[in-house]
Amino acid sequence: MAAISKRRAFLRAGLQAGVAASAGKVLPASATETNNPKWMNGPGQPFAAYGQPAPQESHVIRRVGLNYRGIDDNGAAWCPLEQLQGSITPNGLHFVRNHVGTPAIQPEQHRLYIHGEVQRPLQFSVSNLLRYPQVSRQLFIECGGNSSAGWSEYPVQRTAGLTHGLVSASEWTGVPVRLLLEEAGVQASAQWVVATGNDSGAFDMSIPLEKIMDDCIIALYQNGERLRPENGYPMRLLVPGWKGVLSVKWLGGLQLSSQPAMSRNETAHYTEILPNGLSRQFTTTMAVKSLITSPSHGMTLAGPGVKEITGLAWSGHGKIARVEVSTDGGQSWADAELCEPPRPMALTRFRTSWKWDGEDHILQSRATDERGHVQPTRQALVAERGDKGFYHYNAIVSWEVNSFGLVSHVYV
């Protein structure tokens, strides 16, 4: 405990020293009087109907990866986590995982049908739903296959976003599903809700009725504006804290049933092979997880001195309670600062300072949520789940900083 306290004090001292060292230079009066850049010599750009990023930031984009031999309607667009700050993802950079492309839905023709084991089958247009009471919640969505490269035998050398960028967070606004099901009248025999999307594959997934009635919403807005087509326009299901595939986009049907659909995507896919050869099915909650986004793979530290370590933490079980950072491969840990009051099932930004001495170091972060779940080491996760996994990888990620300042992905 004494060693950790000394380390925390060192980090605080390092931060203060860094602030002093990086203060702006004082210029002579003659320099400030003659500083007249060209953009101050005339009017600026006119108003735009819809704001766009600065041209100089055009490199901050998603990276698209395609499945099945390059077929362009099945794949993912990865969020560039290492290039962002804060805990909310811009709509245009929110990750996307589609199985059969983005349908061009005409909202005035779209309907949501509630049917199956209900007393009164109902249908809702978009305009109908907009008349219901709405709620807003900051929530993350994470693909069940996010970070799947971590199961590889050798550490994959890709950026943080291209390895772990199938997670994003937004403020979602919409109608609690409970209100609509109560209006339809749930029969006593109903235990599951089968959600179906209105894409060409009629993608469907089963969710326990208890979860649907608890906190699920039909999202109509994302970060204050209507949903983007690739993220479910004109409406999508939001299943807080659970794997992203359950938050069915382009929602067209909610069928209540006494049993799950046992569809392709909950049998042949989104199941996990265990060391004993059996498959784990209906794994739902996204486990506690954290990731240092800077410094991370592909970055280079510009010489010794005080550096900021920052990243994101999240848990499908609730709020993040603690994030610890190690600069020696897990031999010692110190608490990082949580940058805003953690919200349940949302991304939490963490930061700390580190005085790099120019030697080799291994950076790690370890998150703990409010229920006491602690992010495991990779060794512990593989021992529990085997080495043939693909989904639900949440182990501690290790970035090595070598003496040249180059950052790469390593296993510890």
| Measured distance CA(118)–CA(149) in Å, rounded | 42
Contact 269, 128 (CB under 8 A): no
Residue range(s) occupied by CATH 2.60.40.650 in the chain:
289-410
Contact 244, 205 (CB under 8 A): no
| Measured distance CA(182)–CA(286) in Å, rounded | 28
3-class state of residue 135 by DSSP? strand
Q: Which CATH architecture has domain 289-410?
A: Sandwich (2.60)
Four-CA torsion 261, 176, 368, 5, nearest 10 degrees: 170
Token pair 């790099």 in the structure block, residue: 356
Buried (b) or exposed (e) across 299-326, using 16+ Cβ within 10 A?
bebeeebbbebbbbbbbbbbbbbbbbbb
CATH class label, 96-280: alpha beta
Contact 198, 105 (CB under 8 A): yes
Residue range(s) occupied by CATH 3.90.420.10 in the chain:
96-280
Contact 152, 159 (CB under 8 A): no
Digitized pLDDT (tens) for each residue of the chain, 412 residues in all: 444 444 554 454 444 444 444 556 666 665 555 578 889 989 999 999 999 999 999 999 999 987 655 566 788 999 999 999 999 999 999 999 998 899 999 999 999 999 999 999 999 999 999 999 999 999 999 999 999 999 999 999 999 999 999 999 999 999 999 999 999 999 999 999 999 999 988 999 999 999 999 999 999 999 999 999 999 999 999 999 999 999 999 999 999 999 999 988 888 788 888 888 888 888 999 999 999 999 999 999 999 999 999 999 999 999 999 999 999 999 999 999 999 899 999 999 999 999 999 999 999 999 999 999 999 999 999 999 988 888 999 999 999 999 999 999 999 9
